[in-house]
Amino acid sequence: MSLAAVLDRGVLTLTLNRPDKRNALNAAMIGAL
pLDDT tens by residue, the chain, 33 residues: 688 888 888 777 766 656 566 676 777 777 777
Residue 25 CB contacts under 8 Å (≥ 6 apart), including other chains: 10, 13, 14
3-state DSSP assignment of residue 28: helix
Are 27 and 16 contacting, i.e. CB atoms less than 8 angstroms apart?
Answer: no
- Give the model's pLDDT for residue 18: 60
